[in-house]
Chain A
Amino acid sequence: MQKKILKFKLNGELMELLVSPSDTLVDVVRDQLGLTGTKKGCGKGECGACTVIMNGQSVNSCIVPAMQAMDAEVETIEGIGTSDKMHPLQETFIDYGAIQCGFCTPGMIMSAKALLDGNLSPSRLQIKETIAGNICRCTGYVKIEQAVLAAADKLKATKDK
């Protein structure tokens, strides 16, 4: 199959690379670009481990053909904070004990971020609905929901300042 040039912005940085039409976004991000924070739990759009944000929307990157990211802005877990300036979700996930094995964590945080980017006062139910496509087998979700709520509060507090 003929490889094609894909150009897109990944975590704010312009990327240009050759991909096969059958490549998925997750494979390009993980295997070609080496950003392994985004995980692959099923490869079929059924677990949410591969969630990234594309043009403001959370997507399962394992079922997004890479070429669909052409000219898009893609955000992954690596792009939302640094260890000395974490995203509030990263902080609250740590503080509330929302991380066990950590395999669902990047996808979980990206799903939650897509929600909070547009809504700083989500209800518990909205949070549940948002992460319903992200399977976590370790935590029972309770601490994850608490962490998302707490991150929303943090973000609101900074915005109100």
Chain B
Amino acid sequence: MKKDYTVVGKNIRKLDALEKAMGAATFTTDIKLPGMLYGKVLRSPYPHARIVKIDTSKAEALPGVKAVATYLNTPRVKFNTSATSTFTIPPLQPVEDQYIFDSVVRYVGDEVAAVAATSKKVAEEALELIEVEYELLPTVFDPLEAMKEDAPSLHHCEAGKNVPGEKIHIEMGDIELGFAEADNVFEHTFKLPVQKQAQMETQAAVAQVSVDGKVTVWSTTQTPHPSRRILATIFGLPYSKVRVLNPPYIGGGFGVRIGLSAKAEPIALALAMLAKQPVKVVYDRKEDFIASDTRHSGYVTVKTGVKKDGTFTARKIVGILNSGAYCSWSAEAPGVLGAMGLSIYYCPNQMYDGHSVYTNTTPAGAMRGFGNPQGMFAVDSQVDIIAEALRMDPMEIRRKNIMRPGLPWVLPYPCQSSGLEECMDLGAKAIVWDQRGKQNQDRDTIRRGIGMAIGTHVSNAWPFCGDYSNAYVTVQQDGSIQVASGVPDMGTGTITTLSQMAAEVMGIAFEQVGITFADTESTPFEIGSHASRTCYASGTAVVAAAQDAKKQVFEYAANMLEVTPGELDIENGIIYSTLTQEKSISLGQVAMEAHLRGQQFIGVGRIIPQNAPPYLAHFAEVEVDTETGKVRVTKMVAAHDVGKAIHPLIVEGQLEGGLAMGIGYALSEEIKYDDRGRQLNNGFHKYMLPTAMDIPELEAIIVEAEDPTGPFGAKGVGETGLVATAAAIANAVYDAIGIRFFEIPLTEERVYRALKECK
């Protein structure tokens, strides 16, 4: 492919920006249909209980109430809210462990019933009229406790007590031999908190059933096609009679709706079917906290064997994650944790064992980074411990051990590109790494420190689950083109990026591209927005479709120009012969000519993506107030090998947003539970998200080690921004005060306590 691109690599105005700036963009929460009812959900106040009796008669009698749904009048079909259930690759089986409503509730917030009424107020009043008698069941909240023999069982499990899906085992080389060869062996266990996606638009869906039974669901899903499959299965409908779409915008996602938007879609649809009127379900913020997936908390143990010179000889990682009450993505997240934790460094002997464990807490599912930030907090905290023990510079020990293209690793695809070392060097320069250790005077109470950490990630979901994409590129009669991709744009700039790629391949101006997206009815199957895949995988499909369309155009044009297709090229919408100057024609002319003779150029892209590792090096500069324990990040540098930045401003935005979320993960964000299973941090006032005041100077550095498998060399970038952020900050805190933390977030309280203990 030629390198001097005309559209790719340019900061073109994003396609969604104007509508959003004007307040004219439509989100699910904005939809209002004629005759639309409002749905509200009754949730369990108990962490584990059996519903002995449920009486909805008073609620039904309330004027304005049109339907009340419970486990007694809704489908008894088990499902998994996550998209993974729709593309788990055999022999693995998807874990389908929940109903829309069940007679057993398994966490505080679990769905008991729902009401559809003519107003939100009436629906809320009706909820209070539903009488439920519960029989309390024994509870367990910690994954290690839940694995014990005498712990209550949440679901029937084959792989072990309360273990959803299968236990994951990854192995390379001979781990025992590797430890035997080591001069030193280090082993540490780290504890990770529950983080919340806290996307700004809460989970929401609007369901409509036509008189002939056709279903339309507008929702906040990140994956319309997989979500359609889940809904069609629950309600026993042909997929072709169910349309799932975004309207077309989503107020963020960060993984929380890969698959259903919690249960907003099936609840809205069940109510719409009962009421025979459209129903809108919008979770309030508290519901979004307590009854919508979180990041996995849990424990990660890392054991590393090292030679005196710092060479790693063996690494074993064990991850035990808290699944919460239902599986969601809990069968896959431990796998990504292990695979990424092992793959960032080259080490000939490696092993990973990991799984999730059911507990009576809010289900954990996908969140940006998907296990990787958990694993890398552990791995890269330990690498700094090892470096210090060996009196090596943290940069040096990493340089010695990082994965490099061509070396073997545990992943089933090869590493074909890496800009990691360049990321490390550029980042070190930007943070002024040489200052490390020289910034504090003996008596300073505010102590400064610098730390770093590295990481990698994926560019789509294979091999952790299935992954493929389809797209159409259709040439219109005037030579403009219409792209159709089922992928959503949840703020990640996807529609802009895909349109750029299509314009580049077709050789036309960006303004000539229209795109339809995130709608199962107008697009072929496409998995959707997750696993940092849209640019890489959906992009590859769009590129393939554009190439297919271009091939057809060139064949047709060659005939018109009486030349061979092979000698044609196109620039700025003009097709020309690279051999004879005077032979040229516009794409619009060719398209119109073909149209008049009964032909349209329809390009189809059908791809199964390979995979490619993006790389990153994060550097943090912190100040720790030794009198209060307050940690302030004063600067963060993030150098990322993104393969190729199709739209640099979008890429920077992804990195900066990821960094901010990573700073929250490191310092302040955590959901805790009381002893009755209730979330203590179920709103923005109690859950400490970074605000503008908490964000330091952020410097995103883009490195482009083009990957041969990515469109224009691009690799995944949506999640990398927080893979190593917490580890870098914890390492900087160690540099500042000499205290190693094995648990995040590094809240004022935790750091203050540690400082006191050290005195």
Chain A residues near B (Cβ < 8 Å): 22, 30-31, 34-44, 46-47, 49, 76-78, 81-83, 86, 90-91, 93-97, 99-106, 109, 127-129, 131-145
Contacts and interface: CB of A to CB of B under 8 A. Distances in A.
27 contacts: A30-B30, A38-B23, A39-B200, A41-B200, A42-B683, A44-B683, A46-B685, A77-B22, A82-B22, A93-B21, A94-B21, A97-B650, A100-B491, A100-B657, A101-B249, A101-B253, A102-B20, A102-B21, A102-B249, A105-B23, A128-B693, A129-B693, A137-B197, A140-B653, A140-B657, A141-B695, A145-B692
A151 B120 CA distance: 39
Interface residues of B, number: 56
Contact of B30 (A36, A43, A46): A36
A140 B200 contact: no
Interface in B618-671: 649-650, 652-653, 656-661
Given A97-B652, A104-B200, A145-B692, A138 B14 contact: no
A41 B201 contact: yes
B741 interface: no
Given A37-B22, A135-B684, A100 B201 contact: no
Contact of A138 (B13, B26, B202, B653): B653
B698 interface: yes
Interface string B193-207: 000011111100000
A34 B31 CA distance: 10
Given A101-B252, A101-B491, A90 B22 contact: yes
B187 interface: no
Interface of B: 11, 13-14, 16-27, 29-30, 32, 121, 197-202, 249-254, 284-285, 490-493, 649-650, 652-653, 656-661, 683-685, 689, 691-693, 695, 698
Contact of B684 (A47, A82, A86, A109): A47
Given A102-B20, A102-B491, A138 B695 contact: no
Main secondary structure of the interface of B (DSSP, over half): loop
Contacts of B691: 131-133, 135, 141
A140 B660 contact: yes
* Interface SS of chain A: loop
Contacts of B684: 42, 44, 46-47, 135
B491 A86 contact: no
Contacts of B692: 127-129, 131-132, 134, 141, 144-145
Given A102-B491, A103-B252, A135-B684, 8 more contacts: A37-B23, A43-B284, A76-B23, A77-B23, A78-B23, A100-B657, A134-B692, A138-B657
Given A138-B657, A141-B695, A99 B200 contact: no
B17 A94 contact: yes
Contacts of B252: 100-101, 103, 137-138
A147 B490 CA distance: 21
B685 A138 contact: no
Contacts of A42: 284-285, 683-684
Contacts of B650: 97
A49 B30 CA distance: 13
B725 to A, nearest CB: 11
Residue of A47, A99, A100, A145 with most partner-chain B CB within 10 A: A100
A132 B26 contact: no
Contacts of A46: 285, 683-685
Contacts of B661: 137, 140
A43 B657 contact: no
Contacts of B23: 35-38, 76-78, 105-106
B27 A103 contact: yes
Given A140-B698, A145-B692, A83 B18 contact: yes
